[in-house]
Amino acid sequence: MADVVRYYLPSSGAALHASAPDASWSNWWNNTWRYAAVTSKISSALTQKQAGLMVGAGTELICGAIWVTPAQTAHAWTTDDTIKAQLFGRFNNCTSGYLHAVIRVMNADCSSEVGVLWEGDLPTALTGTYPGTNRSLAAGGAHVHVQNAFSMAAGNHIVIEVGANVTGTGIYQACDFYCGDDQDSDYPENETTTTQTDDVWVEFTMETATTIGPSGAIASAEDVDGAAMMRGTIQSEV
């Protein structure tokens, strides 16, 4: 039995705590945005953000925005647990670019890291075509496994950091990415959608019987396209 929770990445709504970017980023956008990740859509406008800096030629790993979940119930993460996501972006003012994500657990006030669930480039390179294309943690839309096993205490937060791995020859390097949750549907699990008519999301599947998610959340199931998945609530699937 597995528990599944999907988080949306709004373009508004202040994060409960101002979590600092992970040390693995080589740089971060001067106005790194911090929002609250949500399991129920709040209809924030689909908004273009940017991970870019006047850093000169070379390669930079730039954090653009951070989402902090509500306080979680306790869970022992294992490498059997999985994560999948659909983000959306394009490269801009650089010769190549990849979306990059760091997904980790922070303590109750987000002042220290408990453990890293997953970090890396989304493996399919971005294109420069406006407005962009959806990208996944694994090529083609598949899930990835949690990279590190550790225990998450009640009251900890999952923190989702999104930015870009950019390479350029000019003074300014950047990638655009989009957030918001005011669309009727979520980005499908592919890497071929080029329209701004869906919502970005990150989804966790816990292969143990311990439900995670916002403390006090009520579980409810929904069957979408024949596959049980979380849509704004927490559910258990067999």
> How high is the pLDDT of residue 96?
84
Asked whether 186 and 179 are in contact (CB, 8 A), the reply is no
Rg of the chain, C-alpha, whole Å: 17
Residue ranges making up the domain that contains 87? 2-237
**In this structure, what CATH number is given to the domain that contains residue 176?**
2.60.120
Mean pLDDT of the chain: 85
Alpha carbons 113 and 182: distance in angstroms, whole number: 31
> How high is the pLDDT of residue 214?
66
Asked whether 99 and 177 are in contact (CB, 8 A), the reply is yes
> How high is the pLDDT of residue 28?
81
- SS3 category, 140: helix
Tell which wins on pLDDT, 166 or 2.
166
208 falls in which pLDDT band (50, 70, 90)? confident
User: Residues 153, 236, 149, 214: is their CA dihedral positive or negative?
Assistant: negative
pLDDT at 75 over 50: yes
What's the pTM value of the predicted model, to 2 decimals?
0.87
Number of domains composing the chain: 1
Alpha carbons 76 and 199: distance in angstroms, whole number: 29
Closest to 29 in 3D by CA, of 131, 151, 162: 162
Does residue 131 have a cis peptide bond before it, meaning omega lies within 30 degrees of 0?
yes
Q: What share of the chain is helix, strand, coil (3-state, %, to 5)?
A: 0, 50, 50
The amino acid that residue 197 corresponds to is T
Bridge partners of 102? 119, 161
pLDDT at 148 over 90: yes
